[in-house]
Structure formats: C-alpha cells, structure tokens
C-alpha cells in the first residue's frame, strides 16, 4: 500500500483513538470539557452516553488498524467510509467542526487508498 494512504489512514486512526480517550475517560474532566466545550452539569449528565460514543470511535480506530495490518484495501475503504459518514451525520446534527475533524481526513485517506488503482 502506498505510504500516503498508510499515513493518512493512521492519522484518522489516531484521531479516533484521541476521541475514544476523551469521550470514555476525560469527558467530565477539564480536558474533556474543553475539547467539546461542555459545562460541568452537561458533562456529568451525559458521561455514560459519551463513554458509549467513545467505544464506537475505538471500534473505528481498531477497524482501520486491522485493515492496515492485514493489508485489506477493501476493508480499509469500508471503515474509512464509515468514519466519513459518521462525520457527515455529526456535522449535520451536532457541530460543523466534526466535518473537518472526521470527514475530511477520512475522505483524504480514502482518496489516497483509491488512487492506488
């Protein structure tokens, strides 16, 4: 697999590991509240929900890592596509910022993977 596809995919993987950590472990801590612009009351009320979201982000990261290690181009495209769709949904329903944090990097990684022909 071309180095650009690997590097871009690893960046997307790292983003989702970061999101996992923030949502599962730091949600109601200063770093988590700052990352998502949360009030202490909201963070406390949504901590369990955020942990669940973090777990799903971890699954996305694991899928990318697995596809890269296995050299599964089709699987990598599938997981990156899932990331892109999740980012589109998040941008439409939660914050436009998600488009640039999830969808754009996933789209760039997909473009690099597809460009391998």
User: Average pLDDT, whole number, for the chain?
Assistant: 95
Tell me the pLDDT band of 110, cut-offs 50, 70 and 90: very high
Mean pLDDT on 35-60: 95
Query: How far apart are alpha carbons 93 and 115 in whole angstroms?
Result: 31
For residues 45-77, one letter each, b for 16 or more C-beta atoms within 10 angstroms of the residue's C-beta and e for the rest, the string is ebeeebeebbeebbebbebbbebbeeeeeeebb
Contacts of 99 (CB under 8 A, 6+ apart): 87, 88, 90, 91
Is 117's pLDDT higher than 50?
Answer: no
């Amino acid at each position: 697999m071309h180095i650009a596809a690997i590097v871009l995919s690893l960046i997307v993987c790292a983003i989702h590991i970061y999101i996992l950590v923030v949502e599962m472990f730091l949600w109601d801590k200063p770093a988590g509240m700052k990352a998502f612009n949360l009030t202490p009351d909201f963070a406390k009320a949504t901590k369990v929900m955020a942990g669940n979201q973090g777990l799903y982000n971890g699954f996305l990261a694991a899928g990318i890592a697995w596809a890269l290690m296995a050299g599964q181009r089709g699987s990598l495209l599938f997981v990156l596509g899932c990331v892109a769709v999740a980012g589109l949904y998040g941008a439409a329903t939660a914050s436009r910022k998600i488009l640039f944090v999830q969808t754009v990097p996933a789209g760039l990684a997909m473009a690099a993977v597809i460009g391998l022909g």
